[in-house]
A = this chain, B = another copy of it.
Amino acid sequence: MGNKDQLQLGDHLFNSRLLVGTGKYENHDIMKKSIEASSTEMVTMALRRVDLKNPRENVLNFIPKNMTLLPNTSGARNAEEAIRIAKIARAAGCGDFVKIEVISDQKYLLPDNYETLKATKTLAAEGFYVLPYMSPDLMAAKEMEKAGAKAVMPLGSPIGSNRGIENKGLIKILINEIKVPIIVDAGIGKPSHAAEAMELGAKAVLVNTAIAASKDPIEMARAFDYAVKAGRLAYLSKFGEVKAQGDASSPLTGFLRKEQ
């Protein structure tokens, strides 16, 4: 694979295809070590957790220096709020990337594709590198791409549910039809889920809860790093056929008869 297989988001290149979050960790120190163990190069955090007036508690101090920041608009309930958060983040020096999260439903925390699209249009036009988080829907994804999104982030299953890639059929269609990278976000609860997303052809995955809520987040971060690499390598190497019947690895030849 070597250094040629990189994730491209706009004009940025990344060696790691695992994006991680910063929520739900027991403390900032475990968070920092988990981020390092994951080999990630892009870390998302809710802007509200960036306490600009209290640098001691500022989550940014615990994110390794070489990371690309992906501030998210968690807390936004409509496009307008998302746009406002994105601008505060850029002004605060978090860079040009932004993950749009617009959630009006507080029970399942499902994204609002329509408001997300509106925010994507505005922010992309203002030079942001926009990564919209969305319900997997082909038409909405096409609109996001047309609006200038640098990637599209469909949910595998509801945030924090750890149920895996439930919407496989819809996500595979996005992978087939959308030209910007598909990054599976939300619902990935196990390394096997991350590997499966990559085997399907996702260009990256974002994992937070599954790492942070593990008994050993640092080792779990390492597990996800391996799983994403496994899935990506397998996707590039291509699979053999799935067969209805068995097919012997070591077929019967006349061995026993010959030896007699």
Contacts and interface: CB of A to CB of B under 8 A. Distances in A.
Interface stretch (A9-17, A122-130, A159-167): A159-167
A145 interface: no
A157 B82 CA distance: 32
Contact of A192 (B105, B199, B243, B247): B199
A220 B248 contact: no
Interface residues of A, number: 104
A237 B219 contact: yes
Interface in A172-220: 173, 177, 186, 189-193, 195-196, 199, 208-210, 212-217, 219-220
Interface string A12-53: 000000000111100000000000000000000111110000
A229 B112 CA distance: 35
A130 to B, nearest CB: 18
Interface in A51-106: 72, 74-76, 81, 84-85, 88, 101, 103-106
Interface of A: 1, 21-24, 45-49, 72, 74-76, 81, 84-85, 88, 101, 103-114, 135, 137-140, 143, 157-163, 166-170, 173, 177, 186, 189-193, 195-196, 199, 208-210, 212-217, 219-220, 222-227, 229-234, 236-253, 255-256, 259
User: Closest 8 A-B residue pairs measured CB to CB?
Assistant: A160-B247, A213-B240, A48-B255, A46-B250, A109-B246, A158-B246, A74-B250, A23-B249
11 contacts: A21-B249, A23-B249, A24-B249, A74-B249, A85-B255, A113-B113, A113-B140, A135-B138, A161-B247, A162-B243, A191-B231
